[in-house]
A and B are shown apart, each in its own frame.
Chain A
Amino acid sequence: MYEADTVDVVVVGGGHAGCEAALAAARMGLETVLFAISLDSIAMMPCNPSIGGSSKGHLVREIDALGGEMGKVIDQTYIQTKMLNTAKGPAVYSLRAQADKKKYQEEMKHRLELTEHLRIKQAEITQLLVEKDTITGVVTASGAVYHCKAVVLCMGTYMMGRCLCGDHVTHSGPNNLMAATHLSENLRQLGIRLYRFKTGTPARMLKSSLDLDKMVPQYGDNHIVPFSFTNRAEDIARDQVLCWLTYTNEQTHTVIRNNLDRSPLYCGVIEGTGPRYCPSIEDKVVRFADKKAHQLFVEPEGENTEEMYIQGMSSSLPEDVQIAMYRTIPGLEHCEITRFAYAIEYDCIDATQLKLSLEFKKIHGLFSAGQFNGSSGYEEAAAQGIIGGINAARYVQKKAPLILRRNEAYIGVLIDDLISKGSKEPYRMMTSRAEFRLLLRQDNADLRLTPYGYEMGLIGEERYQAFLQKREAIEKEEARVRKVLVRPSQEAETLFASCGSTPISSGVHLSDLIKRPEFTYDKLAPLDPERPDLPEDVREQVNIQVKYEGYISQQQKHVEQFAKLENKSLPEDMDYANMQGLRLEARQKLDAIRPASIGQASRITGVSPADISVLLVYLEQYHRTHRQNQEQSL
């Protein structure tokens, strides 16, 4: 061992969580070091070659609104982009982009290298140094000691990683990268509980071996929407590549069924819990036996490679079965597999050991983020990463942590779910998890979060001023359309007729017309001569906020009630174990999770409304006793 350095923040791992964590801490002015087992694996996408999608697109936008990097990098390196769900309501619009994987990695790594106060180093961390329940440093495999004030764990799926392809087992992280084999034991010694989770990835194939004519081409959008609020569509416009759609068939399913005994998933070799929303093809065929065909999307891994990703068909079947099964599929009859599908098992933590700040309850200064917390997905990881990085920095600065609430961000929902409920399987973000999703739209992420980003020091002055201008423009225009009266006229009648709308017989407020299903703010421009010239994002906000006003205000009312319970904080030293009025299960759960507020307590599975009532009484008792004690000591 040797004394290598003393820094403020150490980030362990260079995946999507690690990158955002390190950038945030460094940008907040703290001396930060990021360790990765291989620097070539920084920001690697070991599974699908895309960023965003339903609810994940929201996360990327929120990361960007806080001053994170994922959105900017994907805008720089996308090869196809699409806004999905545009007919299903503004809350569920979802932006997704196919990435050039290698370029994405390179771009992100370069940005890390260029960041002041940040250094990246290739090393495996094997030990955490903890004194008096406080983190003091980390040790690398080669014995270098880095003293620090805070650590963010972002190890992803590398911990005791084990990859399975039939009966062939490789002790490695994703993509044959070296696994981290020492840290798990060290964490256990520090009293941290670990789970074992499982996930998987499909095969990659050589494009020239595929018969693309037999598949359905999938095009990107002509109208591009950038992920980052700092980019304009015209600045990132470029030629887009095609993806392809094909289907499995009965023959494919027969091959799979005949070989189930050779699948480690079905013969008990895999111990880890896999996610329901990333089922392997074996799972799909077994669980949905009557489904005749499953969709497969064939997606390029980049522009400078011929490798294609086969989305929808992850597997842990042996290689020979994989060859046979993939070759039953139209277009894949002669496929050349470059990398076989595999399942991966890894250690992760029970996230209920964390506070909402992502700091371990028992070890001061030790934070944890990303897939290691039991989530899945690049976006979920990055979202926790930026919060972990910010709060590690805030911890060192001795400032209050940034905690986003469920009514403020998907990031808030994600972290609150992980910490309050724990996860028995890898956690994927879904729009249905967000109870206030009409307020948490991808289009207004900046309005919700950029003030926080600025306060944290991650949003520069110039961007913040531009944001303030945008916000003001929206407010002014919204107020204006509520005042403007549209009167019956020849022009109005023509427009109404062409849109199939009932004509008006007297003056009607423009805002009321926007609420009609057949109209939008933009469509009504001809009847609104005083309308100022406004950018698209401002017009979009005005339209949504006016059009869906009824529903929005209803959710805001729910939020007000929700906030009342969130504001009742629970002291950290509450003695739940001895609260006789609580049912045993509630006592145990509350004692283990130690929620930050009555609101959080109410979301813990196994805590009933009656338990919450009792808890409120204990809380009041607690406060009064403390007040009495204080008065006595005065």
Chain B
Amino acid sequence: MIAYEQEDIIAAISTPSGSGGIGIVRLSGEGSIELADRLFSGKKKLTQKPSHTISYGKIMDGDKVIDEVLVSVMRAPHTYTCEDVVEINCHGGPYVTHKVLETVLKHGARAARAGEFTKRAFLNGRIDLTQAEAVIDLIQSPTEYAREMAVTQLGGKLKETVTALRSDVIDMIASLEAVIDYPEYDVEEETYEDILRKSETLLEKMKQLLAGADEGRILREGIKTVILGKPNVGKSSLLNFLLDEERAIVTDIPGTTRDTLEEMVNLSGIPMKLVDTAGIRETADQVEQIGVARSKAHAKEADLILLLLDASRPLEEEDREIFAFLEGKKAIVLLNKTDLPQVLTMEMVKEALPRNCTVLPVSILDGAGMEPFLAELKRLFFHGEIRPDQTMLQNTRQKEVLERAIAALERVKTSIGEKMPEDFLSMDLQEVSSILGEITGDAASEEIIDRIFTKFCLGK
């Protein structure tokens, strides 16, 4: 079944992407004002305000303040869509605007489709008949359509993962349905324990996906970066290079905790969270190993490892010990001090390293080789290009969908706990598959039947 798009509350960021300053989250549909009230904390409730007025207050997610905002309340029919419309003017920059949209979606609104506000305006008689063509163009135009589809296209990998998850769900449904539609056939029945076990595995995977190192999170929280290297290899210099006020702006991104151990930098548009910076300074001062041990612990959690090697000295046991941490990680190895006479060559380093590492020759002191290093960072995390707004938008939608899927899968577990009959488990699972289908763009019914007959030999 397609998503029912008629009368639910839709929401979107209505300011163009990429523009700074104020971002507007717009809601439309019956109940928009009531919905906004549930997040809004101000002097007066929005529902009590007259139409076409602006109120000052805060958008809350539970007890947490997300942003200080101005909210316009416009009641049907004298609005753009002829429906109740709420516009939340956010001031905290693109990330906060997305956070507000996320919260609105969490409270029951649906992410608007391409051209949907305009479509509603037309269907509700607000737009002249002569403009119908334009409305259609808007819905089907390549760019808008692409944006609409982005949710399904973003990162082939994500789609692949979700398709696999959904296929597992359909497998479970098919098993349940085969038994239901062919009660007397010796179909291998899935027990409740099987379904519980499989659901838990799926739940685990989905939660990982939700929390995973996706571009959106990285944009918000920065690339969690650990600098490794034996003493006196140039870690402090690298840190100073990265923190240099001239090139990098130390930002204050809301929602992230800042303490002395972490520093946020924005390096030519690449947000980085440098971990254990204090440790690096410590070890530089004390020439001790404590700091290195601590860095190793951080390395496990990191999105990126920057490993420094000294080109003027041969590889030592300490270096090789650190190599073990690079396995399976995104890592850039910087061969530093290339301005000194070289003892350690690129070839020697490449040979000794795991395959996934990029090695770059640099001289941090005189800044040589730092441009290729930045390019490599972009390649590693943003497919060579950074488009923060779009990525965040897609991420917001996916998060919404995944969160709903997780909630639906939790219901499967509840139903098993309540010993509900198979039919209800199947219904719960079908809810999960249809929600995941919103990401992959598939609808179910025929698929389940196809699966039943591929999996089982049934029939008179």
Considering residues B4, B426, B445, B459, which has the most beta carbons from chain A within 10 angstroms of its beta carbon?
B459
A279 to chain B, nearest CB (A): 5
Contact status A609-B113, CB under 8 Å: yes
Interface-lining segment among B57-65, B134-142, B196-204, B224-232: B134-142
With contact pairs A432-B449, A564-B7, A617-B122 given, residues A610 and B114 touching in the complex (Cβ less than 8 Å): yes
Does B211 lie at the interface of the complex (its beta carbon under 8 Å from any beta carbon of A)?
Answer: no
Contact status A48-B129, CB under 8 Å: no
Contact status B2-A609, CB under 8 Å: yes
Contact status B129-A85, CB under 8 Å: no
CA distance A561 to B452 in the complex (A): 28
Contact status B421-A87, CB under 8 Å: yes
A32 to chain B, nearest CB (A): 33
Instruction: State the main secondary structure of chain B at its contact with A.
Output: helix
Does A240 lie at the interface of the complex (its beta carbon under 8 Å from any beta carbon of B)?
Answer: no
Q: Which A residues from 588 to 631 make CB contacts under 8 A with B?
A: 602-603, 609-610, 612-614, 616-618, 620-621, 624-625, 628
With contact pairs A517-B419, A609-B2, A617-B132 given, residues A279 and B180 touching in the complex (Cβ less than 8 Å): no
Does A143 lie at the interface of the complex (its beta carbon under 8 Å from any beta carbon of B)?
Answer: no
| Chain B residues within an 8 Å CB radius of A88 | 179-180, 183, 421-423
B442 to chain A, nearest CB (A): 12
| Chain B residues within an 8 Å CB radius of A616 | 119, 123
Does B324 lie at the interface of the complex (its beta carbon under 8 Å from any beta carbon of A)?
Answer: no
Interface-lining segment among A220-228, A286-294, A525-533: A286-294
Does B374 lie at the interface of the complex (its beta carbon under 8 Å from any beta carbon of A)?
Answer: no
B438 to chain A, nearest CB (A): 10
Contact status B4-A295, CB under 8 Å: no
Q: Which A residues from 295 to 325 make CB contacts under 8 A with B?
A: 295, 297, 311-312, 314
Considering residues B1, B3, B114, which has the most beta carbons from chain A within 10 angstroms of its beta carbon?
B1
Interface size range on B against A: 35 or more
Interface-lining segment among A89-97, A184-192, A383-391: A89-97
CA distance A275 to B458 in the complex (A): 11
Does A487 lie at the interface of the complex (its beta carbon under 8 Å from any beta carbon of B)?
Answer: no
CA distance A580 to B114 in the complex (A): 18
Partner of A581, one of B139, B420, B445: B139
Partner of A551, one of B122, B422, B424: B424
Q: Which B residues from 79 to 137 make CB contacts under 8 A with A?
A: 113-116, 119, 122-123, 129, 132-133, 135-137
Q: Mark A62-98, 1 if CB is under 8 A from B, else 0.
A: 0000000000000000000000110111111010000
Contact status A613-B5, CB under 8 Å: yes
Contact status A581-B136, CB under 8 Å: yes
Does A541 lie at the interface of the complex (its beta carbon under 8 Å from any beta carbon of B)?
Answer: no
Contact status A295-B185, CB under 8 Å: yes
| Chain A residues within an 8 Å CB radius of B119 | 613, 616-617
Considering residues A432, A435, A621, which has the most beta carbons from chain B within 10 angstroms of its beta carbon?
A432
| Chain A residues within an 8 Å CB radius of B419 | 517
Contact status A617-B457, CB under 8 Å: no
Contact status B422-A621, CB under 8 Å: no
Contact status B6-A278, CB under 8 Å: no
Contact status A564-B148, CB under 8 Å: no
Does B427 lie at the interface of the complex (its beta carbon under 8 Å from any beta carbon of A)?
Answer: yes
Partner of A620, one of B113, B115, B123, B420: B123
Contact status B1-A54, CB under 8 Å: no
CA distance A561 to B460 in the complex (A): 38
Contact status B183-A435, CB under 8 Å: no
B325 to chain A, nearest CB (A): 46
CA distance A288 to B456 in the complex (A): 8
CA distance A618 to B135 in the complex (A): 10
| Chain A residues within an 8 Å CB radius of B422 | 87-89, 92
Contact status B135-A617, CB under 8 Å: yes
Does A2 lie at the interface of the complex (its beta carbon under 8 Å from any beta carbon of B)?
Answer: no
Partner of B140, one of A431, A435, A610, A624: A610
| Chain B residues within an 8 Å CB radius of A580 | 136
B133 to chain A, nearest CB (A): 8
| Chain B residues within an 8 Å CB radius of A84 | 183-184
A616 to chain B, nearest CB (A): 6
CA distance A278 to B181 in the complex (A): 13
Contact status A314-B421, CB under 8 Å: no
Partner of B2, one of A47, A277, A311, A602: A602
Does A153 lie at the interface of the complex (its beta carbon under 8 Å from any beta carbon of B)?
Answer: no
CA distance A517 to B116 in the complex (A): 44
CA distance A43 to B441 in the complex (A): 45
| Chain A residues within an 8 Å CB radius of B123 | 616-617, 620
Q: Which residue of B lies closest to A247 (CB)?
A: B186
Does A499 lie at the interface of the complex (its beta carbon under 8 Å from any beta carbon of B)?
Answer: no
A20 to chain B, nearest CB (A): 23
| Chain A residues within an 8 Å CB radius of B182 | 54
CA distance A288 to B187 in the complex (A): 13
| Chain B residues within an 8 Å CB radius of A433 | 445, 449
Does B366 lie at the interface of the complex (its beta carbon under 8 Å from any beta carbon of A)?
Answer: no
Contact status A85-B139, CB under 8 Å: no
Does A497 lie at the interface of the complex (its beta carbon under 8 Å from any beta carbon of B)?
Answer: no
Contact status B460-A613, CB under 8 Å: no
With contact pairs A581-B140, A610-B140, A617-B123 given, residues A54 and B180 touching in the complex (Cβ less than 8 Å): yes
Does B448 lie at the interface of the complex (its beta carbon under 8 Å from any beta carbon of A)?
Answer: yes
Contact status B183-A54, CB under 8 Å: yes
Contact status B181-A435, CB under 8 Å: no
Does A361 lie at the interface of the complex (its beta carbon under 8 Å from any beta carbon of B)?
Answer: no
Q: Mark B231-253, 1 if CB is under 8 A from A, else 0.
A: 00000000000000000000000
CA distance A548 to B133 in the complex (A): 48
A297 to chain B, nearest CB (A): 7
Q: Mark B402-419, 1 if CB is under 8 A from A, else 0.
A: 000000000000000011
Does B177 lie at the interface of the complex (its beta carbon under 8 Å from any beta carbon of A)?
Answer: yes
With contact pairs A288-B457, A617-B123 given, residues A89 and B1 touching in the complex (Cβ less than 8 Å): no
Q: Which A residues from 272 to 290 make CB contacts under 8 A with B?
A: 275-279, 284, 287-288
Does B382 lie at the interface of the complex (its beta carbon under 8 Å from any beta carbon of A)?
Answer: no
CA distance A291 to B186 in the complex (A): 11
| Chain A residues within an 8 Å CB radius of B148 | 610
Given contacts A278-B460, A312-B459, 12 further A-B contacts (CB under 8 A): A85-B180, A89-B420, A92-B423, A277-B459, A297-B184, A432-B448, A581-B136, A612-B5, A613-B116, A617-B119, A618-B136, A621-B132
Chain B residues close to A by CB (< 8 Å):
1-7, 113-116, 119, 122-123, 129, 132-133, 135-137, 139-140, 145, 148, 173, 177, 179-186, 418-424, 426-427, 445, 448-449, 452-453, 457-460
10 closest A-B pairs by CB? A89-B423, A89-B421, A581-B136, A561-B4, A288-B457, A84-B183, A276-B453, A88-B422, A277-B459, A517-B419
23 pairs from A and B in contact (CB 8 Å cutoff): A47-B460, A54-B181, A85-B183, A94-B183, A277-B453, A277-B458, A278-B459, A278-B460, A279-B458, A295-B186, A432-B173, A432-B177, A517-B418, A561-B4, A581-B133, A581-B140, A602-B1, A603-B1, A613-B115, A617-B136, A617-B139, A621-B132, A625-B129
